[in-house]
Amino acid sequence: MTIDDAPRDALRGGPRELLRWVATGAAVSRADLSRLSGLSPSTVSQRVEALINQGLLEETGAGRSRGGRRPRQLAVPTGGAVVGAVDLGAHHARVGTLDLSGRVVQARTLPVRIEDGPEAVLGALLAEVTTLVGDDPVASADGSAADALRGIGIGIPGPVQHATGRIVSPSRMPGWNGFDVAAFCAGRVDVPVIVDNDANLMALGAHRTAHSELDHAVYIKAGTGIGSGVISSGRLHRGAQGSAGDISHCRVVADPAPPCTCGNAGCLEAVASGAALVTALRGQGVPVSDLTGVIRLIDDGDRQATALARQAGRAVGEILAVVVNFFNPQVVAIGGRLADCEPLLASMRATLYERCLPLATQTLLIERVAAGQDVGITGAAHLVIDHVVAAA
């Protein structure tokens, strides 16, 4: 069992949780950590020393005394060490560096052409991460910018076998099938590179940012494509091969059923994704070139675009109703560019309430992902931070 697969209770007081408590301000001393974890002071001190030796925690001075010796305060280093993060999309990539608390230090959005292939796209994005680290005045103050980078997390808009970092049968990514992202990156950077599906990283980023206190959640990413990430027992759940949460090719009843990029017909992605909306509007004679144009039409109250958005919301709701009834999450949140499409969100919400058991929706939160455009790189950074902590 790996640290990612272990149940939450078994990890209470583990190094990752100790780091998270300090990063969020819940704890500022070893005594605080002992109280929160229920562990003995000696065990906490041993784990804290290991984190300090790895540069993941630091002592910042003496705190307020509560009748005895003044406790040494703890903090996550905010200068120097950073992690790199890449959230790759079909047309754009968000690239950034974040400190060890998961706070964004620098971030940029770059245009990409996914059809240019993995070597060209990933090579350019790795170079951009290196540039960002070199541009950080704190990280490069002593001339050791390269040593400041502790790892890189990369989100891919397609199925990823997480254990190997290999892409498996992606849609709309010609030339990427079977590509070993981890091996390619290992030959170009001297730090750990962790690869995962972009919806998983959005789920991890959104959960750590907004709902870290909840144990069970489903996060949907709806943009050009559509997918979801699952949080179970407070941890990102990937399943046996890393495909858990892939709702894109669940079949939605539709007649006639539109063909999907996977070769089947009537899949959720073929009915409710941004690409599907573009195709449907073009088929109705509406001159729209991309998802931006679709959203603009919906915002302007276009009848055809709004009707399609409502249909898409119902389709997403039908699939999510099965997920909610089966998994019983505490929150369902939608992110991606279609999350701001109110007709889609309203139809999704209505369908969930209609199709789900009352007990499943009694306290269910249904909302937008509120973390903004950096949610993907935040998730990628936390993936790396978790890896570094586990190694420590």
pLDDT digits (tens, 9 = 90+) for 180-211: 999 999 989 999 999 999 999 999 999 999 99
What are the pLDDT digits (tens) for 138-166?
555 544 555 789 999 999 999 999 889 89
Round to whole Å and give the CA distance between 226 and 288.
20
Dihedrals phi, psi of 370, to nearest 5 degrees? -100, 5
* Cβ-defined contacts of 157-161 (< 8 Å, 24+): 157/88, 157/89, 157/90, 157/114, 157/197, 157/198, 157/224, 157/225, 158/197, 159/197, 159/242, 159/243, 159/246, 160/195, 160/196, 160/197, 160/242, 161/241, 161/242
Give the pair of three-digit tokens for residue 208.
């750590």
Round to whole Å and give the CA distance between 53 and 30.
15
Q: Residue 390's pLDDT is what?
A: 78
CA angle 122, 125, 128 (to 5 degrees): 155
Round to whole Å and give the CA distance between 331 and 325.
13
Smallest Cα–Cα separation from 200: which of 390, 322, 385, 379? 379
Burial of 180 (0-12, 13-18, 19+ CB in 10 A): middle
Q: Residue 1's pLDDT is what?
A: 34
Give the pair of three-digit tokens for residue 86.
């890449």
Transcribe 262-282 into DSSP letters: TS-BSBHHHHHSHHHHHHHHH
Q: Residue 5's pLDDT is what?
A: 44
Q: Are 100 and 378 in contact (CB under 8 A)?
A: no
Q: Which residue has the tokens 């301000």?
A: 25
Instruction: Name residues of the chain where pLDDT drops below 70.
Output: 1-12, 62-71, 78-79, 136-146, 254-255, 392
Q: Are 381 and 98 in contact (CB under 8 A)?
A: yes
